[in-house]
């Protein structure tokens, strides 16, 4: 079968759009499709993403950072505290000689910048949903439907599932996935305070669940992300801001000043999903399609960008020698190359909520002491910071900030 394209990316969310940018300069026929229409130029962000230094370098390599830099808020320091305990861990970028530990960026702003980068490239785009797959050996036959139900057939040598946490593409390919709804939801909103954030992000282990405050574009604004039992989050989201603000203040304390206003509050049910080791012919998964994680460690998209970096490196090497971009060797190498990172981040992300959501006094004491002592254990703290920034063992040129 002669394929219509070399790489079909199903899903133009931040992960799929980033991969399309990474492939745009290669001699490959790339098609990027998405079931949803393009985000409206005025659409508000669905969430604020905290991105580590490693991710910023990848975005620089994709040549989009210059557009994003003015919208990104640098995180200069992180303060981790536990309600009822005096311990504070302060992680400062200056201790590592860096301008920032990471940046906060709106997800839609990021997706928009990536898609804009593709405008003059050879990457083709279509507003269609992948609805069926058939394996033709040398290529996959993909059925894609427009919103009006009109169906198209396209063949591709490699199909990339970038279609998010409920990946239809993985399902159609028969890939086994662990997938479940978590008993938690996050309450999100924009908090206006009476004290400038100065680039400080906070992680507060409050009695009802961990609360993160991410510094916003306005010096007095934070994005609040409060993980709560699902039913509690459902109750709280019905409250008017005037009632919710005192509850947030009581849970967080006064370290970030007085909470003055809360806007854009909403509730998101949390789920986790990941592939359980199976592979399919000519198919790989990236981003949330490969791993959907609890947002407590703010690692989901950071991990997804490293998927992009690894896959783009493999495809660049294949393109350089005219090799098949969907060969079993390339699919296997990508899958194996990502395993350790996927496993490590998943384990850390699963372990954190258990440790920090347990209000039992012995665990609370360990946490309080742990936070206090971590602040003086410089080597351990340094290791933690370097890992959180996502700059351990860079493996690809893209991760080091080079496009070609
Ligand atoms: C509350 C919350 C906070 C978070 N905070 C952080 C953070 O601070 N830092 C961080 O790194 N990560 C964070 N994350 C994770 C991050 O949001 C995700 O990792 C990221 O958005 C995933 O991007 P994606 O492109 O893989 O998937 P998505 O953004 O879900 O995009 C998938 C795309 O696929 C399309 N699609 C679906 N089905 C089909 C189909 N059949 N055919 C074609 N297209 C299809 C959809 O329309 C969509 O555009 C957070 C997540 C949550 C829930």
- Ligand 1 geometric centre to CA of 269 (Å): 14
The 3-state DSSP composition of the chain as helix, strand, coil percent (nearest 5) reads: 35, 30, 30
SS3 at position 194? coil
Say if 257 falls within a structural domain.
no
Say if 205 falls within a structural domain.
no
Say if 95 falls within a structural domain.
no
Atom of ligand 1 nearest to the CA of 16: 25
Residue 398 has pLDDT above 80, yes or no: no
- Pull the structure tokens for residue 325: 């971009």
Q: What Cα–Cα distance (Å) separates residue 183 from each residue in 28, 59, 114, 233, 234?
A: 43, 33, 33, 11, 12
Buried b (16+ CB within 10 A) or exposed e, 75-93: bbbbbbbbbebebebebbb
How far the first Cα of the chain sits from its last, in Å, is: 31
Ligand 1 binding site (Cβ under 6 Å of any ligand atom): 10-16, 33-36, 47, 49-50, 107, 129-130, 162-164, 168, 186, 268, 287-288, 295, 298-302, 304
Length of the chain: 404
Largest CA distance in the chain: 67
- Ligand 1 geometric centre to CA of 300 (Å): 8
Residue 371 has a pLDDT of: 47
Say if 49 falls within a structural domain.
yes
Say if 383 falls within a structural domain.
no
Residue 249 has pLDDT above 80, yes or no: yes
Q: What Cα–Cα distance (Å) separates residue 84 from each residue in 251, 367, 369?
A: 10, 11, 12
pLDDT bin (cut points 50, 70, 90) of residue 1 is: low
- The domain spanning residue 65 has which CATH number? 3.50.50.60
Helix-helix angle 300-320:53-61, to 10 degrees: 40
Least confident segment among 52-66, 309-323, 350-364: 350-364
Listing DSSP states for 362-399 in one string gives HHHHHHHHHHHHHTT-HHHHHHHHHHHTT-SS--STGG
Residue 401 has a pLDDT of: 54
Residue of minimum CA distance from atom 51 in ligand 1: 295
Of all residues in the chain, the percent with pLDDT exceeding 70 is 85
Residue 206 has a pLDDT of: 85
Say if 193 falls within a structural domain.
no
Residue 374 has pLDDT above 50, yes or no: no
Residue 384 has pLDDT above 60, yes or no: no
Rounded Cα–Cα distance for residues 22 and 391 (Å): 19
- Ligand 1 geometric centre to CA of 97 (Å): 32
Residue 48 has a pLDDT of: 92
- Pull the structure tokens for residue 252: 């967080």
Residue 366 has pLDDT above 90, yes or no: no
Atom of ligand 1 nearest to the CA of 129: 42
Domain range for 329 is 5-73+104-180+272-357
Which H or E run includes 268?
A: strand 259-275
Atom of ligand 1 nearest to the CA of 293: 15
pLDDT (tens digit per residue) in 108-120: 999 999 999 999 8
Q: What's 38's DSSP letter?
A: P
Residue 298 has pLDDT above 50, yes or no: yes
Of 164, 269, 270, 291, best ligand 1 pocket probe by most atoms within 8 Å of the beta carbon: 164
Pairing of strands 102-106, 48-52: antiparallel
- Ligand 1 geometric centre to CA of 13 (Å): 6
**Average pLDDT over all residues of the chain:** 88
pLDDT bin (cut points 50, 70, 90) of residue 139 is: very high
pLDDT bin (cut points 50, 70, 90) of residue 254 is: very high
Say if 163 falls within a structural domain.
yes
Residue 281 has a pLDDT of: 94
**pLDDT (average), residues 305-326:** 97
Question: What's the total number of domains in the chain?
Answer: 1
Residue 62 has pLDDT above 50, yes or no: yes
Q: Residue 270's closest CA among 170, 364, 348, 349?
A: 349
Say if 259 falls within a structural domain.
no
């Amino acid at each position: 079968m002669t394929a219509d394209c070399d790489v079909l990316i199903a899903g133009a969310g931040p992960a799929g759009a980033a991969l399309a940018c990474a492939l745009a300069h290669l001699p490959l026929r790339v098609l990027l499709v998405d079931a949803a229409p393009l985000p409206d130029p005025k659409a508000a962000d669905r969430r604020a993403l905290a991105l580590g230094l490693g991710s910023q370098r990848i975005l620089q390599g994709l040549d989009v950072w210059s557009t994003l830099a003015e919208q990104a808020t640098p995180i200069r320091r992180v303060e981790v505290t536990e309600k009822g305990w005096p311990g504070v861990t302060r992680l400062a970028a200056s201790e590592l000689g860096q301008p920032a530990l990471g940046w906060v960026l709106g997800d839609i702003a990021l997706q928009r910048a990536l898609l804009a980068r593709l405008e003059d490239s050879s990457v083709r785009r279509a507003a269609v949903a992948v609805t069926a797959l058939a394996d033709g050996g040398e290529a996959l036959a993909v059925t894609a439907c427009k919103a009006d139900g009109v169906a198209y057939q396209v063949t591709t040598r490699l199909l990339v599932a970038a279609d998010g946490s409920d990946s239809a593409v993985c399902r159609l390919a028969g890939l086994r996935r662990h997938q479940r709804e978590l008993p938690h939801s996050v309450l999100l909103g924009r908090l206006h305070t009476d004290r400038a954030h100065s680039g400080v992000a906070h992680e507060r282990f409050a009695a009802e669940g961990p609360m993160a405050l991410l510094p916003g574009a306005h010096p007095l604004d934070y994005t609040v992300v409060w993980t709560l039992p699902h039913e509690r989050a459902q109750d709280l989201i019905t409250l008017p801001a005037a009632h919710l603000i005192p509850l947030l203040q009581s849970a967080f304390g006064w370290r970030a000043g007085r909470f003055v206003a809360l806007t854009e509050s909403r509730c998101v049910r949390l789920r986790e999903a990941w592939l359980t080791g199976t592979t399919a012919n000519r198919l790989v998964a990236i981003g949330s399609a490969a791993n959907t994680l609890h947002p407590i460690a703010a690692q989901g998209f950071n991990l997804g960008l490293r998927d992009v970096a690894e896959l783009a490196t493999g495809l660049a090497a294949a393109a350089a020698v005219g090799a098949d971009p969907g060969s079993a060797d390339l699919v296997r190498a990508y899958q194996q190359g990502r395993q350790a990172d996927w496993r490590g981040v998943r384990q850390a992300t699963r372990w954190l909520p258990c440790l920090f959501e347990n209000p039992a006094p012995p665990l609370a004491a360990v946490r309080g002491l742990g936070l206090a002592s971590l602040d003086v254990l410089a080597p351990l703290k340094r290791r933690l910071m370097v890992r959180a920034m996502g700059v351990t063992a860079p493996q690809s040129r893209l991760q080091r900030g080079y496009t070609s």
